[in-house]
Amino acid sequence: MTSLRIGLISDTHGLLRPQALAALQGCDHILHAGDIGKPEILDALAELAPLTAVRGNNDRDAWADAVQEVEELWLDDVGIYLVHDQADIPDDLAERGFRAVVTGHSHKPLITERAGLLHVNPGSAGPRRFKLPVSVGFLVIGDEVQAELRELDL
């Protein structure tokens, strides 16, 4: 089985850093977990790889009406549930065959396994908040599904 590298980005809030674009270069697919900020960010990410994005609580302008609040993807037969806020994750995802959940919102990078699901929050790649890192993440789908976080050098 060939492996897929899926880039994860969230909470850009209108700022797409060149370091984030460089980190996501060469990915097979990119997921944006919301609080995008402006449509140009989606355009730039879509030039790198096929893009799936969800709307965050701050994506309120007219352009964001076309962006769904939840996306359910199957990449290489691996179910990925994409939603901005982890409070909106349904309880039945493992039973429905999903393997990973990607969220944003908290700006805190996180990889954890709960109830058979890999939970990944790539953190915020946009404006720095408090002392939290500026970061992106990756899902690597091969024989297993693994996640990585990368802090961006600013």
CA distance 107 to 133: 8
Tokens of 35: 């609080």
Exposure b/e, 131-145, CB count within 10 A at least 16 = b: eebbbbbbbebeeeb
Tell me if 58 sits within 8 A of 85, measured CB to CB.
no
CATH of the domain at 119: 3.60.21.10
Could you tell me the residue range of the domain that residue 34 belongs to?
4-151
Task: Give tens-digit pLDDT for 38-81.
Answer: 999 999 999 999 999 999 999 999 999 999 999 999 999 999 99
Tokens of 96: 């429905």
What pLDDT is attached to residue 37?
Answer: 98
Task: Give tens-digit pLDDT for 83-142.
Answer: 999 999 999 999 999 999 999 999 999 999 998 899 999 999 999 988 999 999 999 999
Q: Minimal CA–CA distance to 2: which of 112, 117, 142, 96?
A: 142
Number of domains in the chain: 1
CA distance 94 to 44: 33
Report the 3 state secondary structure along 47-113. Answer: HHCCEEECCCCCCCCHHHHHCCCEEEEEECCEEEEEECCHHHCCCCCCCCCEEEEECCCCCCCEEEE
